[in-house]
Amino acid sequence: MSEKFYVTTPIYYVNDRPHIGHAYTTILADVLARFHRSVGNDTFFLTGTDEHGQKVQNAAEKRGVEPLQHCDETVIRFQELWQRLGITNDRFIRTTQAEHKRVVSEIMQELYDRGEIYKADYTGWYCVGCERFFTEKDLVDGKCPDCGRDVNAITESNYFFRMSKYQDWLIDHIKSNPDFILPAFRANETLGFLKKPLGDLCISRPKSRLSWGIELPFDKDYVCYVWFDALINYISGVGYHTDADNFARRWPASCHLIGKDILTTHSVYWPTMLKAMGLPMPKTIFAHGWWLTGNSKMSKSLGNVVNPMDMIDRAGVDAFRYFLLAEMSPGNDANFSEDAFIARYNSDLANDLGNLLSRVSKLTIRATGGVIPAPAELNADDAELADAVNAAIATMEESLKSYKLDQGINAAMNAVRAGNRYLEKCAPWTLAKQGDTARLHTVLHNAADALCRVAVLLAPVMPEKMSELLAVLGIADGQISGIAALKEFKSVAGATMRETAPLFPRIVVEETEQSAAPAAKPEKKQPKQEKKAAPETAETVGVVTIDQFFQTQLKTAKVLSAEKVEGADKLLKLQIEVGAETRQLVAGVAKFYTPEEITGKTIVIVANLKPAKIRGIESQGMLLAAKDGDTLKLVTTDGEIASGASVG
């Protein structure tokens, strides 16, 4: 029997264009929805736009148009981008739709009739940007504690929701349900917020100050507070008060995906509203981090917002989807830069995945006319590759359930790299020359089979490109319907491969005199020309290019255990976790750290260093440390972050 899966994104303000933060949340929801559909779960994916409130009214006034006209014109930008990104939402809700407005009005009337909403005078500080009231003690240096903007002193009569009466219940619910707010440190943030007395929630705005909103059914001089209105989309979008059967089928939500900046509204306002309505709680509220440029959150006021359309035009939709999901460990912040995008694209997609496909297809076409052969007797090398693929399948399945998608992607790419190592080790080109047909066929089959399974794993992330990859392998659309089907899928033997252009053409970076920023463009083959080496100067000796720098993959790693190397005073042997992978590393830090001191630390390592043997012990990487005289300190992270995260 299939399970149900109902995932939502926040509904996005229509006061401006969508940016990379909107794209990330929506792509993450799309990947989760695609995965759950692929395993046969009854899946529903809701996204949409928040179209009421002060910011929308101000944006419309600035343009000299009516608010609804502004919404109608701006919402298209979101809808077009979601279509371009391959988003498979089941419904796109707008809070200006008559059905949603009616549900909000009916809920307010019901709560008012039961005494859950009351009228009172209020004096406080109001932030237009956040559309929230704050008390004097909430302010930070006299400004909004959330966004840092100026606030306005307001005294007026308003309607309030009795949120305070549910404070003790909410604390108990969070503590009793560890999956209710994820990651766990976000639950601790909410519990910290709830240590102070919880006030009642102002859920109205007088029309004299704000006219653009849903009118209160019990007082025509007021409109509904935008957040009270917006949160209700999660139930109005699946039939609350309009389609009882569908609502019973969908609610409660499996996962509300949100950014960490709206944690309080979703983990405090929304649960107490649902409790007052007598409805079940969502299973999980997952708050991801921010996309940063440098150390700053992307914001229009700072002028550092990345337009998703620009990145899509440069490298394609699937590469953009891949980068966002591979680069960010959900829950933590991530830095965006064009250099990082190009480096990951070239390393993971053009080099690792693209190279494996190119080699396997060319070798198979040359050896068998493209027909993937059946394997003969297997050996330890074959088993090692199969283990890497099976580990990737297990890790991806678990990561999708735990919302740690970067770990699943990392495991899939580890399987790709294992495939490339397998070819180097088995050397099918040599087997062909030697006439060892049985072994050649086994190697070609196993490499193609690994590619096929990785493509299925990555299909929710890169649906178009992985469909192309499977087609190159001779696997038809729908032949392997998702991760669950991999457990039943026997082999690619008998499928016919075809020639293909590079799946991910490498991106080269050129510096121009007109711009200090690197310009990305597809690599083109140039006629060979003799080049004279430029003379070295004091400024260029020892200098590396950005491409050379990004050939080094720096990642976070968690030290699982440590022990001294026998007969070596300086060496510790570490077992480390790098995403979904466990490695062994030998480090010369024993004079500075005991095994007990280093165990549990999150360190930074060079992840793509060629393995080496130190005192007869294989070391798979190198940790980073800073040394000054007799002092040595490990390079660690500033705060909690998952292992396997990219550094740079």
Strand spans (E) along 70-218: 91-94, 117-127, 132-134, 152-161, 181-182, 201-202, 204-206, 215-216
Are the beta carbons of 396 and 325 closer than 8 angstroms? Answer: no
Beta bridge partners of 380: none
Backbone phi and psi for residue 182, each to the nearest 5 degrees, phi listed first = -125, 155
Mean pLDDT by 10 residues, the chain (648 residues): 89 85 95 94 97 90 93 94 96 97 98 97 81 79 86 90 98 98 95 95 93 96 95 98 97 97 96 98 95 62 60 88 92 85 92 94 95 95 96 94 93 96 95 95 97 96 96 90 85 92 83 40 45 43 53 82 83 82 86 85 88 81 84 82 75
Q: What is the pLDDT of residue 296?
A: 54
Judge residue 140's burial from the number of C-beta atoms within 10 Å of its C-beta, 0-12 exposed, 13-18 middle, 19 or more buried: exposed
Instruction: Return the exposure string of 39-66: e unless at least 16 CB atoms fall within 10 Å of the residue's CB, then b.
Output: bebebbbbbbbbbbbbbbbbbbeeeeee
CA atoms within 13 A on the CB side of 382: 16
pLDDT score of 294: 56
Q: Are 111 and 276 contacting, i.e. CB atoms less than 8 angstroms apart?
A: yes
**Residues 394, 648: Cα–Cα separation, whole Å:** 29
- One-letter identity of residue 279: L
**pTM of the full predicted structure?**
0.77
Give residues with Cβ within 8 angstroms of 275, minimum separation 6.
Answer: 166, 169, 170, 281
Q: How many residues are listed for the chain in this entry?
A: 648
List, in order, residues 6 or more apart from 80 with CB less than 8 Å away. none
Classify burial at 591, counting beta carbons within 10 Å of its beta carbon; exposed 0-12, middle 13-18, buried 19 or more: exposed
pLDDT for position 306 = 64
- Give the three-class secondary structure for 287: strand
Residue partners of 419: CB distance under 8 A and separation at least 6: 356, 385, 388, 447, 450, 451, 454
Q: How many CB atoms lie within 10 A of CB 362?
A: 14
What gap in Å lies between CA 314 and CA 578, rounded to an integer?
A: 30
User: Alpha-carbon distance 555 to 604, whole Å?
Assistant: 6
Cis omega (within 30 of 0) for bond into 252: yes
CB atoms < 10 A from the CB of 112, how many?
19
Distance, CA of 493 to CA of 432 (rounded, Å): 19
Q: Are 129 and 15 in contact (CB under 8 A)?
A: no
The per-residue pLDDT for 639 is: 67
